[in-house]
Amino acid sequence: MKRTILTLVLTAACISAQAQISELVRQGNATQLMHGGKPFIILGGELANSSASSGEYLDSRDTWKYLAESGVNTVLAPVYWELIEPEEGRYDFSTVDYLLKSARANGQKLILLWFGSWKNSMSCYAPSWVKRGFNSEFELAANSDGSIPEIMSAFSERNVRADAKAFASLMKYIRKADGSEGTVIMVQVENEIGMLGDARDHSRLAQNAYNSPVPYDMMYMLTSGKANDHINDVWKAAGKATTGSWKEVFGSSLEADEIFMAYWYARYTERVAAAGKAEYDIPMFVNTALNSRGRKAGEYPSAGPLAHLMPIWKTVAPSIDIICPDIYDKGFASWISQYATADNQLFIPEVRQEPENGARVFYALGHHAAIGFSPFSIDNMPQEKDYPLKKAYELLTPALDLIAEKQAAGKIYGMLADATEKETVLTINGIDFKCRHDLTLGWNPEAEDPDKWGETAVMIMDMGNDMYLFMGTGVVTTMSPADGRGRVGIERIDEISFDDYGKMQKIRRLNGDENHQGRHIRIPFGEYGAQLLKVYRY
Ligand code: DGJ
């Protein structure tokens, strides 16, 4: 009897520790980050690059308090190779301890960012014992003109072993220090990987690989139809050879060079990620510097986990669970759509910190069922109480369980509007919801000035029984039957808040001026709100 009870207790303890370890699980229509037995949506913020090097620095600025007040539930914080392994094989995890302790004390989850071999292409976070061995024991990449950037070569066995060993030690440490609590919910491997200065590494080791046969897994990806149009086009233009060196199979072009490098970057990253996962198996991702502003390979961090190279990364780096975009350019909606694919659930670990993020988070969660959203340099976000992201996170926080449920059920939709893309029609249950930027009404004096428009967004959740929950900012919506027969009317609209348990509470009935005498449902520009609509047909 005693033994049975003991077994039961131990099993329960095991299950509960297990439940704390996060994992990515396909649930209905979305892949979700499961934590503590339920989906967890990340309302995140990434610390500025140097902030996590000093606990005193963060504390002196009251960072944790400020993050909690901002509605952030997850902090993305770097772990620096140079600090955790100051001498080869001697580890110092005090910066990690500080993060764990502070995050727990302040009710935050953590996503740790491994600043290992590469940070924005460069290798500035390599420890001094690695740096001092550059060009002897450790290898750097080389440009075609013979210049040597401070970029560790993806072709060096010594490089990848050192990085993988350090990363494995970090993951082992996190498992021991945090495996039962699960404060760390994901880990980013390296940061914005990619070759700069040239589309490919021309070092001796790289040239050897370049002149060697294209490896089997890459060839198989091509011949089994698993590549995308971009890769296929480069292959086709070079004659579609099924064996041969990289030049023989892909020809000589910037695009071909980038494909070659993507394979080797992905392979290196896989070695590092797999070594870490062998110690502690939690979700891992890579982040991507975009090929924006018409730049050519070599001008942006080339061969990183970019959308046009995704099949290579997915094939060669299976330990990487998701590929994530960092958005610092115009065109938020179009960039993120490239990273929201059937086999890649969207997570945005970095987006330039700007007021528009208050709208974008609704769109990312609603339209793409994103796992989460995280503006960069969150510790330097403006402190005003009603800064847009704070308003958005405040509104979203108590609704996250509902949002996760609707994401899995495929019953959530989203639209984003700006001065050029003013309107989107979402068809739900045979009803066209025509969602427009609120300034299209022309009621607000700011409508005159296109520079004042800013981005606005709404998510719509199908609640069943003719009810639709709208959450967002600056969007006005009218409804009509998708088949053009009859009309869709507003039976009622209630302004809603959520209690601490996520249960909807009615604030007030919205009618009259608030819904333009029954003509539309509207969350005005500059305001953030939740409104529950019930429609009828006549
Ligand atoms: C993207 C990088 O991933 C970040 O670490 C940071 O360097 C920003 N760019 C720019 O500040």
pLDDT tens, 392-423?
999 999 999 999 999 999 999 999 999 999 99
Report CA(65)–ligand 1 centroid distance (Å): 24
Element (H, E) at 78: strand 74-80
Predicted pLDDT at 498? 96
What digits encode the pLDDT tens for the residues 514-533? 999 999 999 999 999 999 99
The whole-angstrom separation of Cα 453 and Cα 434 is: 19
Buried b (16+ CB within 10 A) or exposed e, 164-188: bebbbbbbbbbbebbbeebbbbbbb
Closest ligand 1 atom to Cα of 49: 5
Residue ranges in the chain modelled with pLDDT below 70: 1-19
Predicted pLDDT at 135? 84
User: And the tokens for 429?
Assistant: 């249950």
Report CA(266)–ligand 1 centroid distance (Å): 20
CA distances (Å), origin 51, targets 63, 75, 377, 378: 10, 12, 9, 10
User: And the tokens for 487?
Assistant: 């009309």
The whole-angstrom separation of Cα 159 and Cα 137 is: 9
Closest ligand 1 atom to Cα of 377: 11
Per DSSP, 186 falls in state: E
Residue nearest to atom 5 of ligand 1 (CA): 49
Report CA(288)–ligand 1 centroid distance (Å): 10
Q: Compute the residue count for the chain.
A: 538
Taking each helix axis as running N to C, give the angle between helix 216-223 and helix 229-237, from 0 to 180 degrees, rounded to the nearest 10: 100
Per DSSP, 487 falls in state: -
> What phi and psi, each to the nearest 5 degrees, are found at residue 90?
-110, 120
CA distances (Å), origin 32, targets 66, 223, 298, 347, 365: 27, 32, 35, 10, 12
Report CA(454)–ligand 1 centroid distance (Å): 23
Residue nearest to atom 6 of ligand 1 (CA): 49
Report CA(456)–ligand 1 centroid distance (Å): 25
Asked if residue 365 lies in contact with residue 396, where contact means CB atoms within 8 angstroms, the answer is: yes
Asked if residue 111 lies in contact with residue 186, where contact means CB atoms within 8 angstroms, the answer is: yes
Report CA(336)–ligand 1 centroid distance (Å): 17
The whole-angstrom separation of Cα 238 and Cα 60 is: 58
Residue nearest to atom 9 of ligand 1 (CA): 120
Handedness of CA 238, 243, 244, 250 (dihedral sign): positive
> What phi and psi, each to the nearest 5 degrees, are found at residue 179?
-55, -30
The whole-angstrom separation of Cα 365 and Cα 350 is: 15
The whole-angstrom separation of Cα 276 and Cα 170 is: 8
Residue nearest to atom 8 of ligand 1 (CA): 376
The whole-angstrom separation of Cα 475 and Cα 478 is: 10
Strands (DSSP E) contained in 365-455 are: 372-373, 412-417, 423-428, 431-437
Report CA(46)–ligand 1 centroid distance (Å): 10
CA distances (Å), origin 40, targets 13, 377, 399: 21, 22, 12
Report CA(192)–ligand 1 centroid distance (Å): 8
- β-strand partners of 286: 323
Among 51, 114, 191, 377, which residue has the most ligand 1 atoms within 8 Å of its CB, making it the best to mutate? 191
Closest ligand 1 atom to Cα of 78: 5
3-state SS track over 110-176 = EEEEEEEEEECCECCCCCHHHHCCECCCECECCCCCCCCCCCECCCCHHHHHHHHHHHHHHHHHHHH
Predicted pLDDT at 9? 47
The whole-angstrom separation of Cα 56 and Cα 42 is: 26
Report CA(236)–ligand 1 centroid distance (Å): 36
Predicted pLDDT at 60? 98
Predicted pLDDT at 104? 98
Pocket of ligand 1 (CB under 6 A): 49, 120, 191-192, 326, 350, 376
The whole-angstrom separation of Cα 231 and Cα 501 is: 49
Domains in the chain and their CATH numbers?
A: 42-204+260-399 (3.20.20.80), 412-537 (2.60.220.20)
Give the amino acid at 275.
A
End-to-end CA distance of the chain: 67
The whole-angstrom separation of Cα 437 and Cα 513 is: 18
Closest ligand 1 atom to Cα of 191: 3
